[in-house]
Structure 1
Amino acid sequence: MYVLTISINPGAPLGGSITEYFPGTFNGAHFTAVDEAARIPDFAKDNYAGQFFYGTLDGEDAVSIAWASNWQEGWRSAMSLPRRNRLENVTRVGWDLISLPYDLRPVLGQQLASRTDLVDSTLEVDYSGVASNAIYFEANVTGLAGVGSASTLNFTIRNPEAGESVRGGYFFGDQFFVDRGGVRGFDNPFFTDKFSTLSLLRPDGTWTLSGVVDRSMLEVFVDRGTTSATALFFPTQPLTVLTLSTAQLPDSVSVSVAVYALESGWKGSENGEGIVVGNVTTTAV
């Protein structure tokens, strides 16, 4: 199976730029899509023009990286996480591009917190001491068979002093959402602040969430990467507290969560002032 990707601007459902993909077959000259659906790999607004790396070995996941931006919003200077990608034939929707973070182990730092019993309770993590201001979090849920949308899992990333926040969550068996409307560092009439997608439960009653918060970018990967979202946000002060919570879960459900610091990928290239200057041209005298 091949994947044809098309990056368009303008024309996104939420405005601005977007990437579409089409699974299909390719004979070396002609591509034939499996159907007429224009699939979108990211349900938020800031994932555009993803490019795939050449030379990955047969049998390994394809690796891509995207422009974390939207041309409509005027900011075009960040990249998404590198992602592992594969096609999976999900019965209810057909072919789906699964996307998960590429190996984070080189930058995975100290475990900041973990819980194996986050049922109808809350975990709060202060990561103000993380120099990179970047964290990784994950949640694994089991026993969800028959659970309705009154049951929820939510997360909030906030700055307690400024009162700014970005949040998201899942109404089990129904909608997953991201809301970046609680930050005030950027004003643009096309800066859509809320996004959502349908996330149906699997027959085995399991569900997962993983996410990376990197200063002013949130990337979340829902239900083993069957859907993902990339959302830039611009607070007036750094966000430093992560809260994970669940509510109205039956006794059959088990929720385990973990939060890790992420090390800066640029740390080894910083100068004495903590700035990465890139290539520098000098003139010999």
Structure 2
Amino acid sequence: MTATTTAAAPAGAPSPERFRPEYHYSAERNWLNDPNGLVFVNGTYHLFYQHNPFGSEWGNMSWGHATSPDLLQWQEQPVAILCDDQEAIFSGSAVFDEHNTSGLGTTGNPPLVAIYTSAYSDASPLAGRQAQSLAYSLDEGRTWTKYSGNPVLDRASADFRDPKVFWYDGTAGSYWVMVAVEAVQREVVLYKSTDLMAWEYLSTFGPANATGGVWECPDLFELPIDGKREAMKWVLVVNLSPGGIAGGSGGQYFVGEFDGVKFRSESTVTEGLQTDDSRMREYSWLDWGRDYYAAVSFSNVPDGRRIMIGWMSNWNYSAQTPSEGWRNSMSLPREVTLTRQNGALMLRQHAVDPFNGPGFRNFQRGPQPLASGAVELVGAPGEVARIDAEIEPGRATRVGLLLKAGDGEQTVLSYDVAEGVLRLDRRESGNMGFHEAFPSIESVAVPLENGRLRLQVYLDRCSIEVFAHDGRATITDLVFPSESSTGVGIFAEGEGARLLALNIKGH
């Protein structure tokens, strides 16, 4: 969690801290969007992010900075890389240059190197361009120096951005690989370098699958299939806005092979720029909600784990959400793995659990039958909590949970048995008047397993993150309920449903 501030509010008005999340990172003040430069070094996770140090609206893009020993407790640090009159500091990545390939440190003190997009202003000789630049730190990210030879990669493009850099060691050799985008062309472009400064073009991927918006914030990494190191595949993540599966911003991914030069997708459904979105649900999506965007992964994580964080908002309404003095937050970190399901390869996501420890209340029910109708779970924590539920719908047509419920307010997580579809309905969730696109229903196909539905739901003050069947499908949505709307309920439509287990942990 992050440090919070308190401010006097007018009598009868909600506190400006009312919706500040408890277990999702938010900056103490001002605007936050895309996570950048995620890296683990010497026992510390570093989260950099797009940040306006001077206001709560987008602008003056710089890299904010927070650190954590465990991905749960975050400490905000001073702004890492500040914009100036020549450039804004757009998205990118950071690497621990352990062998000092860049020469920006020493053998005894290798540098952290940030690779970011310079968005050049009118005052710059490169006005209007986006190119890739470096900054480096010799004190584990506390202070940063911009490289004097910036930019290190310039395609004379207005939309070349968001470099994700990693060290490749394979049959083609050993070198740094940069994965960036030509955003408007919906292309991922790959380069290689031995020193992070001189870059050689490798290949281009795309357009493919979802192309209804610009492509941004790519990532490329290798994962074992079902934990078996002898069976590996590469995953290419591409975020896009608009054009997400739920409307506005979203993130898709491709599974395939990378030989050190070219990524070859084995999960492409459609190629080229698409004007017909009728096949959208056949694509692979990181999340089926409206509020999980620009997700990228940490580099240098121990044991080869792949942990991602997304921006928990949507460009449709991110500037209008009801907060004061601060705006927007990150998702919970998620460990992603690759699994085979019904012959297809797909990502499975598990949240880094803030409730895995003492000091929380436990509420349990089941096993027991579920009569047709809704039952309030009196005494269950429902504002900041984790809900684990296993339900056997039986002959019922619909089952689910009522979340953040109060007088005239509720968010409904429901499962339609005939359709095999899980839905999160926030049309009665509370404050929705700040933007016409906010009231919505998100949905994802989730087949029952052995006739059962398994759900894990994380509630924070302004968010709901749903993980179905051990993270095979996720839905992330913001909600802004009244302070009194903390009720939890369970319901069935029709007879024959059974609650096999329910555990709610929170406060």
TM-score range, shorter chain: 0.7 to 0.9
Query: Once the two structures are superposed, what CA deviation does each residue of 1:196-223 show, in whole Å capped at 9, x if it has no partner?
Result: 1111123x33431010110110001011
Change (3 A) 1:118 1:232: farther
Find the aligned partners of 1:167 and 1:211 in 2 and give their Cα distance: 12
Corresponding letter in the other structure for 1:62: R
* Aligned mate of 1:49, from 294, 309, 331: 294
Equivalent residue, structure 2, for 1:193 = 440
- Report 1:168-187 matches (<5 A): 168-172=413-417, 174-187=420-433
- The CA RMSD measured in Å over matched residues stands at 2.5
Find the aligned partners of 2:380 and 2:367 in 1 and give their Cα distance: 21
Equivalent residue, structure 2, for 1:224 = 470
Structure number with greater CO (CA < 8 Å, separation at least 6) is 1
Find the aligned partners of 1:170 and 1:248 in 2 and give their Cα distance: 13
Q: CA deviation at 1:70?
A: 0.3
Find the aligned partners of 2:493 and 2:358 in 1 and give their Cα distance: 29
Corresponding letter in the other structure for 2:370: D
Q: Which runs of 5+ in 1 are unaligned?
A: 263-285
Q: Does 1:83 align with 2:334?
A: yes
Equivalent residue, structure 2, for 1:15 = 247
Q: Which runs of 5+ in 2 are unaligned?
A: 1-232, 270-282, 320-326
Find the aligned partners of 1:5 and 1:95 in 2 and give their Cα distance: 14
Query: Once the two structures are superposed, what CA deviation does each residue of 1:166-218 show, in whole Å capped at 9, x if it has no partner?
Result: 1111123611110111134132112141111111123x334310101101100
Identity, % of aligned positions: 24
Find the aligned partners of 1:82 and 1:123 in 2 and give their Cα distance: 30
Find the aligned partners of 2:337 and 2:391 in 1 and give their Cα distance: 23
* Aligned mate of 2:363, from 110, 113, 120: 113
Change (3 A) 1:125 1:68: farther
Equivalent residue, structure 1, for 2:258 = 26
Does the CA-based 8 Å contact 1:118-1:245 persist in structure 2?
no
Find the aligned partners of 1:11 and 1:107 in 2 and give their Cα distance: 39
* Aligned mate of 2:481, from 235, 243, 247: 235
Does the CA-based 8 Å contact 2:355-2:386 persist in structure 1?
no
3-state SS in 1 of match to 2:464? strand
Corresponding letter in the other structure for 2:293: Y
Corresponding letter in the other structure for 1:86: T
Find the aligned partners of 1:217 and 1:47 in 2 and give their Cα distance: 11
Q: CA deviation at 1:249?
A: 5.6
Report the TM-score, using the length of structure 2 for normalisation: 0.46
3-state SS in 2 of match to 1:244? strand
Q: CA deviation at 1:69?
A: 0.4
Query: Once the two structures are superposed, what CA deviation does each residue of 1:78-137 show, in whole Å capped at 9, x if it has no partner?
Result: 111111211111116x11111121133456642331012242154514457x8xx41110
- Report 1:94-113 matches (<5 A): 94-106=344-356, 109-113=359-363
Equivalent residue, structure 2, for 1:73 = 317
Q: CA deviation at 1:26?
A: 1.0
Report the TM-score, using the length of structure 1 for normalisation: 0.78
Find the aligned partners of 2:292 and 2:454 in 1 and give their Cα distance: 21
